[in-house]
Amino acid sequence: MLRVALPNKGVLSEPAAAMLREAGYRQRSDSKELVTLDPDNGIEFYYLRPKDIAVYVGEGTLDLGITGRDMLLDSGSPADEILSLGFGKSTFWLAAKPGTATSLSEIANLRVATSYAGLVGKYLAEQGISAQVIRLDGAVETAIRLGVADVIADVVETGATLRQAGLELFGEPLLESEAVLVRRSTAAPVEGLDLMMRRLQGVLVARNYVLMDYDLPEDKVDDAAKINSGLEGLTVSPLHRANWVAVRVMVPRREAQRLMDDLWEIGARAILVTDIHACRL
Ligand SMILES: Nc1ncnc2c1ncn2[C@@H]1O[C@H](COP(=O)(O)OP(=O)(O)OP(=O)(O)O)[C@@H](O)[C@H]1O
Ligand SMILES: O=P(O)(O)OC[C@H]1O[C@H](OP(=O)(O)OP(=O)(O)O)[C@H](O)[C@@H]1O
Ligand SMILES: [Mg+2]
């Protein structure tokens, strides 16, 4: 039986459950449930605090988990990322009141408040900066106003929280984070893991790609392939119109509009874009 840890609350919780549902796994129906069995797939899902997930997986108590890359690094746990999941994206930054510091080197001997003390401590040590790390549980922005710290190191998504606290970013980002699937590097093979990886990869492709269909003069097929030849080459079918063919190709969703423009330029017409609901590559 595969045992998988998922965030029980917070920003990663719903998107993680949605992704697993999309991949065909049963998820809890009540947010108070701590464990759910998916008998059809032989999996037990454990709903845990996102920060604890890397600890359980690193110790080998659970086979797999979904957590943030920042939380994985913060935990110092011997678990590895095995798949990036494309949601829960954030950037980890230093911030302070304007005029406090413009670069990392200027925070030497200052107090840095964070709820990611493991991650920040390691980063400062690697960069050779000696600053005092103040470990807090959350709402670290307020630590500066209350005089507990001079600088904060925290997750930034929109920047709205920082702006409200009158703080600004400085230096370089410490980390780009997103939700990741984690597994202990030394763990023994476990049944159901390869299947789950394939299914999740299928969900990622279905989310990130669209299907493009168009009609094209036959002598333009090579030009079309140069614009985009999909994952495994163009599918070219006969069209009931002399010297024309129908083409089907998978393209990255974010490039779809530009590709339609380029294909139109070489003579493609009736260009259609449709969502992919599921796939297995
Ligand atoms: N806007 C955001 N705010 C906070 N975390 C975010 C945001 N966007 C993405 N994340 C990611 O989500 C994870 C943090 O999740 P969450 O805030 O739910 O955990 P937590 O801070 O431990 O829990 P809580 O806030 O309930 O104490 C991190 O991996 C972080 O990078
Ligand atoms: O850039 P923004 O979009 O404003 O998001 C970032 C904010 O969100 C997180 O707080 P969270 O809600 O997790 O509360 P916490 O500080 O108690 O963890 C994070 O710690 C920042 O405060
Ligand atoms: Mg939080």
Tens-place pLDDT, residues 224-251: 999 999 999 999 999 999 999 999 999 9
The half-sphere exposure of 68 on its side-chain side, counting CA atoms within 13 A, is 23
pLDDT at 53: 98
2-87+178-191 belongs to which homologous superfamily?
A: Periplasmic binding protein-like II (3.40.190.10)
Is 2-87+178-191's fold the same as 90-176's? yes
Q: Encode pLDDT of 159-208 as tens digits.
A: 999 999 999 999 999 999 999 999 998 999 999 999 999 999 999 999 99
Q: Is the pLDDT of residue 60 over 90?
A: yes
Q: Whose CA is nearest to atom 17 of ligand 2?
A: 138
Percent of the chain with pLDDT over 70: 100
Which residue in the block uniquely carries the two structure tokens 């996102």? Answer: 50
- Sheet containing 179-184: give its strands across: 35-38, 43-48, 2-7, 64-68, 179-184, 79-84
Pocket of ligand 1 (CB under 6 A): 9-12, 50-51, 68, 70-71, 88, 90, 138, 155, 157, 177
Q: Is the pLDDT of residue 218 over 90?
A: yes
Rounded mean pLDDT, 15-22 = 98
SS3 of residue 119 by DSSP: helix
Give the Cβ contact number of residue 241 at 10 Å. 11
Beta-strand (E) ranges in the chain? 2-7, 35-38, 43-48, 64-68, 79-84, 90-96, 111-114, 132-135, 151-156, 168-177, 179-184, 209-217, 235-238, 244-252, 269-275
Q: Whose CA is nearest to atom 9 of ligand 2?
A: 155
DSSP letters for 145-189: HTTS-SEEEEEESSSHHHHHTT-EEEEEEEEEE-EEEEEETTPPP
Q: Hey, what are 251's tokens?
A: 């393209």
End-to-end CA distance of the chain: 25
Check if the beta carbon of residue 248 is closer than 8 Å to that of residue 241.
no
- The atom number, within ligand 2, closest to the CA of 10 reads 13
Q: Whose CA is nearest to atom 11 of ligand 1?
A: 88
Assigned fold of 210-275: Alpha-Beta Plaits (3.30.70)
Average per-residue pLDDT for the chain: 97
Q: Hey, what are 113's tokens?
A: 């408040």
Give the Cβ contact number of residue 272 at 10 Å. 12
- The atom number, within ligand 1, closest to the CA of 10 reads 18
Q: Whose CA is nearest to atom 10 of ligand 1?
A: 88
Percent of the chain with pLDDT over 90: 99
Q: Is the pLDDT of residue 47 over 90?
A: yes
- The atom number, within ligand 1, closest to the CA of 70 reads 29
Give the rounded distance of the alpha carbon of 248 from its chain centre: 29
pLDDT at 281: 87
- The atom number, within ligand 1, closest to the CA of 177 reads 31
User: Which ligand has the shortest distance to the CA of 70?
Assistant: 1
Check if the beta carbon of residue 114 is closer than 8 Å to that of residue 133.
yes
| Listed residue (226, 59, 82, 142) closest to 67, CA to CA | 82
139 C-alpha to center of ligand 2: Å? 7
- Domain ranges across the chain: 2-87+178-191, 90-176, 210-275
**Single-letter amino acid, residue 68:** G
Rounded mean pLDDT, 113-123 = 98
Using 50, 70 and 90 to split pLDDT, how confident is the model at 278?
very high
Q: Is CATH 3.90.1150.10 the classification given to domain 90-176?
A: no
User: Which ligand has the shortest distance to the CA of 156?
Assistant: 2
Using 50, 70 and 90 to split pLDDT, how confident is the model at 147?
very high
